[in-house]
Amino acid sequence: MNSLVWFRNDLRVADNTSLYKASSHEKTLGVYCFDPRHFSVSPFGFRKTERYRAQFLRESVEELRQGLKERNITLLVYFDQPETVIPELVKTHNIQHIYLQAEWTSEEAQVLKNVKKKLATTVRLVESCDHFLFHPEDIPFASFDQVPDVFTFFRKKCEKYALVRDTLPEIGKKPVENLVDIATQIPTLEQLGIHPFTKHQKSAFPFKGGEQQALCRLGDYFWNTKHIAKYKKTRNGLIGTEYSSKFSAWLANGCITPRTIYAALKEFETQEIKNQDTYWLFFELLWRDFFKYVSIKHKDNIFKLGGILERDYDWKTSKEITELWINGKTQEPFVNANMIELRETGFMSNRGRQNVASYWSKELQQDWRIGAAYFESMLIDYDVHSNWCNWMYLSGVGNDPRDRKFNIEKQAENYDPQGTYQKLWLNHL
Domain boundaries, the chain: 1-130, 132-168+211-299, 304-426
pTM equals 0.97
d(CA 398, CA 391): 8
Write down the pLDDT at residue 404: 86
Superfamily of domain 304-426 in CATH is DNA Cyclobutane Dipyrimidine Photolyase, subunit A, domain 3 (1.10.579.10)
| Separate counts of helices (H) and strands (E) for the chain | 17, 5
Q: Which of 92, 165, 80 is nearest to 128 (CA)?
A: 165
* Integer CA distances (angstroms), 346 to 49, 261, 274, in order: 11, 23, 33
d(CA 23, CA 5): 9
Question: Phi, psi (5° rounding) for residue 212?
Answer: -65, -35
For residue 249, what pLDDT band results from cuts at 50, 70 and 90? Answer: very high
Mean pLDDT within 327-349: 98
Asked if 406 contacts 229 with a C-beta cutoff of 8 angstroms, the reply is: no
* Amino acid type, 272: E
Strands 2-7 and 97-101, bridge-based pairing: parallel
The pLDDT of residue 402 is above 90: no
Write down the pLDDT at residue 359: 98
The pLDDT of residue 429 is above 60: no
Q: Which of 95, 87, 81 is nearest to 33 (CA)?
A: 81
Asked if 235 contacts 244 with a C-beta cutoff of 8 angstroms, the reply is: yes
Write down the pLDDT at residue 401: 79
CB atoms within 10 A of CB 78: 20
Length of the chain equals: 429
Domain 132-168+211-299: CATH class, spelled out: mainly alpha
- Percent pLDDT > 70 in the chain is 100
Question: Phi, psi (5° rounding) for residue 75?
Answer: -105, 115
The pLDDT of residue 428 is above 70: no
For residue 7, what pLDDT band results from cuts at 50, 70 and 90? Answer: very high
Asked if 303 contacts 397 with a C-beta cutoff of 8 angstroms, the reply is: no
At the topology level, CATH places domain 1-130 in Rossmann fold (3.40.50)
The pLDDT of residue 319 is above 80: yes
pLDDT digits (tens, 9 = 90+) for 261-306: 999 999 999 999 999 999 999 999 999 999 999 999 999 999 999 9
d(CA 209, CA 58): 8
Tell how far CA 187 is from the center of its chain: 21
d(CA 407, CA 385): 26
d(CA 97, CA 382): 30
pLDDT digits (tens, 9 = 90+) for 65-95: 999 999 999 999 999 999 999 999 999 999 9
Asked if 123 contacts 151 with a C-beta cutoff of 8 angstroms, the reply is: no
The pLDDT of residue 379 is above 90: yes
